[in-house]
Amino acid sequence: GAVVSQHPSRVICKSGTSVKIECRSLDFQATTMFWYRQFPKQSLMLMATSNEGSKATYEQGVEKDKFLINHASLTLSTLTVTSAHPEDSSFYICSARGLEPSLEGEQFFGPGTRLTVL
């Protein structure tokens, strides 16, 4: 099956620093990757959609200068949280959609990254 990895799985940082999260599709080429944020006991909130080689499309209310997304290749997308603050502490999950999905539009999820900003 399609496997998506995320690194790191957990990160703790000081307020004001930047954190980079990597999302990789390990055994398929992902034309589209999605970045989600999930606060405790809430559903997934789509932050942005990125297509390989083009700028990401951000959802309303998500600051693109704060959450930098780079989808440089068909297997890698990165999310950088710049100048992180405690309110950015959350569970960040990426998902990927392949060139030839087994199901139309199916997304394969990474294991998530738990970010804690002190």
Partner 1 sequence: GQNIDQPTEMTATEGAIVQINCTYQTSGFNGLFWYQQHAGEAPTFLSYNVLDGLEEKGRFSSFLSRSKGYSYLLLKELQMKDSASYLCAAMDSNYQLIWGAGTKLIIKP
* Residues in contact with partner 1 by the rule CB under 8 A: 34, 42-46, 49, 91, 93, 103-112, 114
Which residues neighbour 118 within 8 Å (Cβ) at sequence distance 6 or greater?
12, 13, 14, 15, 86
CB of 83 to partner 1, least distance (A): 26
CB of 57 to partner 1, least distance (A): 10
Nearer to partner 1, 44 or 68 (CB): 44
100 C-beta neighbours (distance < 10 Å), count: 7
The four Cα atoms 109, 17, 86, 55 give a dihedral, to 10 degrees, of: -40
CB of 33 to partner 1, least distance (A): 13
Nearer to partner 1, 49 or 82 (CB): 49
Q: How far apart are CA 46 and CA 37, in angstroms?
A: 7
CB of 23 to partner 1, least distance (A): 11
Nearer to partner 1, 78 or 107 (CB): 107
22 φ/ψ sector (left φ>0, alpha ψ -120 to 50, else beta): beta
Nearer to partner 1, 64 or 114 (CB): 114
